[in-house]
Every structure is written in C-alpha cells, then in structure tokens.
A and B are shown apart, each in its own frame.
Chain A
Amino acid sequence: MTSGTYAGRRPRAVTRGRRSITITKIRHNPLILVGYLVLIINSAGCLIPILWTLSNSFRSNTQIFSVFSLIPEQFNFGNFESIVDNTNLVQAFFNSLVISLCSLALLLICVLPAAFLFARFTFRFSRVFYGFFLLSIFVPSIVLLQAVYELFANLSLLNVQYSIVLAYTAAQIPFCLFLLTAYMRELPVEVEEAAIIDGASVWNIFRRITVPMTRNGIVVILILSFISIWNDYIYALVFLPEPQRQTLTVALANVKGEYTVSYGLLSAAAIMAIVPVFVFYLFTKNFLMSGMSSGAVKG
C-alpha cells in the first residue's frame, strides 16, 4: 500500500489523462449522468448565493423588494460608492490583510524550526515538549479571550499597532506544528544525509534542504491559518475597536448592524469583501490545490 513517501509515488502522466465523455460511455454506465447531476447541483449551490448577492449589489432597495432577479436591471455602482464613502470597509480590508500576512510570517518563523527539531531529533524530554505543544489543539481561542486581553493590557500592548498578531500566531502554533512535524517526518532523509557527509551545518540543512522540501506542508498550514485568522471576529472586535484599525470581519458586521434593511448596500459590502479574495483565488488556486493534494494530511 503506497503511502505519501516520494519513493512510492508513481509518475502521474502515465495513468492520469483527462477522460472524455462519450455516448457509449454513458450507455455503459448511466451512473455517470447521476454523478454529473450531483456535481452540477453542488456547483450551483456554491455559486448562486454569491451571484445573487452580486446581482443585488447593483440594484436599489426598491428594486430588490419588488422583484426577485438573478440579473440586475442596470449596472449601477451607487451602492459601492456609498460603501466606500461612508464606511471603513476598504481600510478594514487592508488591516485584515496586513494582520494576516504578518501573522503568517511570524508563524513560519516560529513553527518551521520547531517542527524540524521535533521531526529530526530525539532528545531528553522531546516527547514531553512535543506533547506540551499539542495539548492545546483542542482549546478554542474564545476560551482565552478575557485572559489574553488582560495580559495585553498588563504588557501595554493594547495600543501597539498590530499587536494582535502575537495572539493569532500563538493560537495557530499547536496545530501547525503538529501538521508540519508529521509532514517533515515523512520526508526522505537521503538528501540530508548526503549534505551531512558534505559537512553542512544543521542550520544550513534546515534552510536549504528541509524547508524547500516542506513546501507543500507549508502551503497547507498557510491556508488553514490564513482562513482562521482572516475570519476571526471576536478577538478583532475586542482588541481593535477603533474604526481605522478594525478588521474586515468586524467592519462587515458593523455595516450589517447599521444598514440592516438596505439590502443593496449590504450586498455591495459583501461583494466588496469577497471579490479581492476571489481574484487572489483565481491566480493561486492551482498552487493551492497541488499543495493540498500532495498529501500533507494523510493521518
């Protein structure tokens, strides 16, 4: 039974071509049609709510109330202008972006060396330390909200720009360490052994060999952590109440609270939050998919 090791992987090109659908094939196995039906239904479910919101963002409130339509009557950007002019959504988007990127950078700095240590070495208490890191995987971060806030207050971190990055990174460490260590343990050691024979230092082995080989594992933890940090609401709500420092999640919730029945404006706000991510996704999805499908999560 092949596992995720490089040695056992077959070259893909041989057996993985795109299979085309022909009538004969369908006649052989009518379930193909059922399969496609399922896929199409789910695609509709994934796309239509957002498309509907997109359509509404171009319509006025009276239009939305009177007629249901997936296609807007006109392409009026008035709602978007209102959102940009009257709310802090744009600023909040950049705040979220900076905070997330800083957290991810800090996370890599913390977790990559630590995973390397636990994957490649055994030392006294190594299991204790590893278990120590892992025992908090099941602690939901909301549990610590009050205590972390007080800690920040005591350390005078509350008014330091982007200090929330520290809390976010710390919360991501356990699970990312777990994933990365498991991934690194699966990597073949021949290249590293060769480097040792050549006299490379441990740090250089880490930097030039192990880390580049962990590329796919890194992609997985970056995606998971990014989603978690980008989505966070309650920490951002409590730590960043100032309008110019709010994150996108909080700003969106505020917009919802203030414009509760201005459906056109709300739709526009939602679209403004989704479009940048969508664009990013279009450019990087292949990279994301290949990283995730390399088998970093095998169990």
Chain B
Amino acid sequence: MRAMKFKPRYLLFMLPALGLYVLFFIYPFIQTAISSFTRWNGITAPVFIGVANYTQLFHDSVLMSGIVRILIWAALAVVIKVGLGLVFAAILRNRPWGYKFFTSVFFFPVVVSSSAMSLVFTLAYDNNIGIVNHFLKAVGLGFLQHAWLADPTTAFYAAIAVPIYQDIGFFMVIFLAALQDIPDEYYEAARLDGANPVQIFFRLTVPLSLGSIRVCVVLAVTTAFKTFDYIFLLTAGGPGNATQVPATWMYLETFQSFNYGYGDAIAMLIFVLSSLASGLVLAWGALGGRPSRRGPELPRTATRRVAEAIPEGAIA
C-alpha cells in the first residue's frame, strides 16, 4: 500500500547510502573488474592482455581444487548449519524445561570473534595437549588422533568445522522464530494421526518453514564461498596447498606473487560463483520448491480436516 505520494526530494533519503556505496564499493569493484583483464604487478603500468587471466583460471590446479573445496564446504554448511539448526529449533519449539539455558548456550559461539575462536581451536587441535585428541583417547577412539591442522587429509575438514560449528546457533534462532508461526494444532493433528517425530519433522516442520530455510541456505552457501579469515588464521592455506580456497588463493596471488590482474580474475570468479549459487537457490524457491518425498505419505487430508475442525486456541 502506498499511502504517501512521492516527491523528488525524498530521493535524499537514499543519498548517504548511495554515496558511500558507490564510492567505496562500486568504484573499487569496477576497478577490480577492469584490472582482471590486465597483467599488472601493482607497481608499473598494467598491460592489457584480454581474457588470458580467465583462461589461466582453468589451468590452475590449486584454484580448481579450491573450488571443489568450497563446494564441499557449502554442502556441509547447508546440511549441518541449516539441518542441525532446524533440528535443534524443532526440539526446542514448544519451549521445554531448560529452553532459555539451551538457546543462550547455543547462540553464544556466534558472538565470539573469528580470531578468538580460531585461537581456541588452534590450541584444541594441537596434537600433544589439545582437547580434541584427549577426548578421542578418553572415549576409546585414540586411534583417530591426528595432527588435525597439519595433516593434509584432515586439515580442511578440521578448519571448516570451526566456522560451521560456530554458526549453528544463529540459524537455530532464526528457525525458532519461523517455527513459532506454525500453529500447535497442526502438530496435535499430526500426532493424532499417529505420525512419529521423524515424519512430523520432514512432512510438517520442513515444508512450513521453507521460506526461512531458503534464506538460510543462501546465507550458508555465500558464507562458505567467501570466508577467508578462518582458513587464513587456522592453516594459512597449508599444509602445502591442502586447504587453499579461492579467497585465500586470491590473496596469495595478489599479495605474495604480485599477480594483481590474475588475482582480480579470481576475485571475479568468486563473485560469479556466489551469485550463481545464490541465484540458483532463490530461483528454486521462486519456482515453488516442494517438500521432499521421503518416508511414508502422511494422510494430509485427514490432518487438514482435523486442523480445520479445531478452532484456534481450543486445544491448550
């Protein structure tokens, strides 16, 4: 509803945002894009080389493995952050005993800074004194002990475990809000129909919170694509190049190898990948994503009939 008539002077409302945004975001972005078509060492004049940087992207094996890694990261982020977040929210949905305690504790890691958490986990992953290895030994899984951040096979997963673990609480709180909008009657009706909790989760909770799920998936994916700090602080891309992601590789190419043009091409690639991934998720939403078809069909007609027959608030 537009109750107010527009007057041109209202454009001033967006002036501060526009000014700041164009100057400190758009202008550097255009610079970066232009520079990606040059060979430049940052000091002497750039040399225009057309799309050579972009073709080199595909011959860069470290970059290609980096892209595979962020895809794995995005997948894990979605499953764990969104999945576990939704599960925890579902468990805490009707505010059982201890609700306040659990939500506070789960959300706390979100506010801890990335460098503090990286420091905590650098210590926790230490192969001699670290709590991770001690815990494994204590529960009898001592053979699983590793030098987590130094072993090429485990370094990447150990590194991304930290930001993923830290963010679960954030998504949980979002879903808690979304789940509040699902009336209790639906759950009562489903229980009356004899659905078990797993069915309720997948056939009722998930479909009715798809809007939030979609936004959270986009958030999780874009975060996975662009996060630089955790990898840089935990492993700096090492051991060898075992944890390089495009963001850290871009940093190294620009600031250690002084291939500015190529670094900018990688930057453009990160941008395109993020936009594509997010665009795909949002398009899936716009086209009406349907709930998954797993498990036995819950007789939805029965549920709906019961739900409609019960006036709001009649079941306490």
The complex places the Cα of A238 from the Cα of B184 at a distance, in Å, of 52
- A16: chain B residues at CB < 8 Å are 94-95
- A150: chain B residues at CB < 8 Å are 31
Tell me the nearest residue of chain B to A250, going by C-beta.
B115
A11 to chain B, nearest CB (A): 9
The yes or no answer to A27 lying at the interface (CB within 8 A) is no
B4:A10 contact, CB within 8 angstroms: no
Q: A21-B97, A292-B173 are in contact. Are A230 and B113 (CB under 8 A)?
A: yes
**Which of A14, A64, A297 lies in contact with B177, CB distance below 8 A?**
A297
Instruction: Give the dominant DSSP class at B's interface.
Output: helix
Chain A 257-276 interface 0/1 with B at a Cβ cutoff of 8 Å (1 = within): 00000010011011001100
Chain B 206-220 interface 0/1 with A at a Cβ cutoff of 8 Å (1 = within): 001011111110000
Interface pick from B44-52, B56-64, B221-229: B221-229
The complex places the Cα of A277 from the Cα of B113 at a distance, in Å, of 9
Q: A169-B20, A252-B115 are in contact. Are A46 and B108 (CB under 8 A)?
A: yes
The yes or no answer to B71 lying at the interface (CB within 8 A) is no
Interface pick from B9-17, B139-147, B292-300: B9-17
A231:B115 contact, CB within 8 angstroms: yes
B215:A297 contact, CB within 8 angstroms: yes
Please provide the chain A residues from 123 to 149 with a CB less than 8 Å away from any CB of chain B in the complex: 123, 129, 133, 136-148
Please provide the chain B residues from 87 to 116 with a CB less than 8 Å away from any CB of chain A in the complex: 87-88, 91-92, 94-99, 101-116
A166 to chain B, nearest CB (A): 6
**Which of A20, A114, A145, A288 lies in contact with B14, CB distance below 8 A?**
A114
**Which of A111, A266, A280 lies in contact with B119, CB distance below 8 A?**
A266
The yes or no answer to B271 lying at the interface (CB within 8 A) is yes
The interface size bin for chain A is 35 or more
The yes or no answer to B204 lying at the interface (CB within 8 A) is no
Please provide the chain B residues from 174 to 209 with a CB less than 8 Å away from any CB of chain A in the complex: 174, 176-178, 180-181, 183-184, 197, 208
The complex places the Cα of A166 from the Cα of B17 at a distance, in Å, of 11
Chain B 22-35 interface 0/1 with A at a Cβ cutoff of 8 Å (1 = within): 01111111011001
Tell me the nearest residue of chain A to B103, going by C-beta.
A289
A129 to chain B, nearest CB (A): 7
Q: A18-B97, A53-B120, A56-B123 are in contact. Are A39 and B25 (CB under 8 A)?
A: no
Q: A140-B247, A142-B228, A252-B119 are in contact. Are A117 and B96 (CB under 8 A)?
A: no
The yes or no answer to A77 lying at the interface (CB within 8 A) is no
Q: A39-B88, A256-B122 are in contact. Are A117 and B214 (CB under 8 A)?
A: no
The yes or no answer to B305 lying at the interface (CB within 8 A) is no
A123:B6 contact, CB within 8 angstroms: yes
The yes or no answer to A42 lying at the interface (CB within 8 A) is yes
Total B residues in contact with A, Cβ cutoff 8 Å = 112
The yes or no answer to A45 lying at the interface (CB within 8 A) is yes
The yes or no answer to B72 lying at the interface (CB within 8 A) is no
Chain A 209-240 interface 0/1 with B at a Cβ cutoff of 8 Å (1 = within): 00000000000000000010011111000000
A245 to chain B, nearest CB (A): 17
Q: How many A-B residue pairs have CB under 8 A?
A: 308
- B247: chain A residues at CB < 8 Å are 140, 142
Tell me the nearest residue of chain A to B14, going by C-beta.
A114
Please provide the chain A residues from 20 to 74 with a CB less than 8 Å away from any CB of chain B in the complex: 20-21, 31-32, 35-36, 38-39, 42-43, 45-50, 52-53, 56, 64-65, 68
B180:A293 contact, CB within 8 angstroms: yes
- A17: chain B residues at CB < 8 Å are 95
The yes or no answer to B3 lying at the interface (CB within 8 A) is yes
**Which of B6, B216, B274 lies in contact with A121, CB distance below 8 A?**
B6
- B101: chain A residues at CB < 8 Å are 43
B111:A281 contact, CB within 8 angstroms: yes
The complex places the Cα of A42 from the Cα of B165 at a distance, in Å, of 10
The complex places the Cα of A294 from the Cα of B181 at a distance, in Å, of 10
B97 to chain A, nearest CB (A): 5
**Which of B4, B96, B165, B271 lies in contact with A139, CB distance below 8 A?**
B271
The yes or no answer to B278 lying at the interface (CB within 8 A) is yes
A65:B129 contact, CB within 8 angstroms: yes
B4 to chain A, nearest CB (A): 6
The complex places the Cα of A42 from the Cα of B106 at a distance, in Å, of 8
**Which of A122, A129, A205, A249 lies in contact with B115, CB distance below 8 A?**
A249
The yes or no answer to B306 lying at the interface (CB within 8 A) is no
Q: Which of B103, B104, B124, B264 has the most chain A CB atoms inside 10 A of its CB?
A: B104
A270:B25 contact, CB within 8 angstroms: no
- A153: chain B residues at CB < 8 Å are none
Please provide the chain B residues from 243 to 270 with a CB less than 8 Å away from any CB of chain A in the complex: 247, 250-251, 254, 260, 263-264, 267-268, 270
Q: Which of B92, B101, B173 has the most chain A CB atoms inside 10 A of its CB?
A: B173
6 further A-B pairs in the complex, CB-CB below 8 A; given A146-B260, A151-B27: A38-B88, A68-B134, A144-B32, A249-B115, A299-B213, A299-B285
Chain A interfacial positions (CB closer than 8 Å to B): 1-4, 10, 14-21, 31-32, 35-36, 38-39, 42-43, 45-50, 52-53, 56, 64-65, 68, 106, 109-111, 113-114, 116-118, 120-123, 129, 133, 136-148, 150-151, 166-167, 169-171, 173-174, 177, 189, 192-193, 196, 202, 205-206, 227, 230-234, 248-250, 252-253, 256, 263, 266-267, 269-270, 273-274, 277-278, 280-281, 285, 288-289, 292-295, 297-299
Q: Which 5 A-B pairs have the closest CB atoms?
A: A140-B226, A299-B211, A147-B28, A170-B24, A143-B267
Report 10 cross-chain contacts, Cβ distance below 8 Å, ordered by A residue.
A14-B313, A15-B184, A16-B94, A53-B120, A114-B17, A139-B271, A143-B250, A148-B28, A253-B115, A293-B173
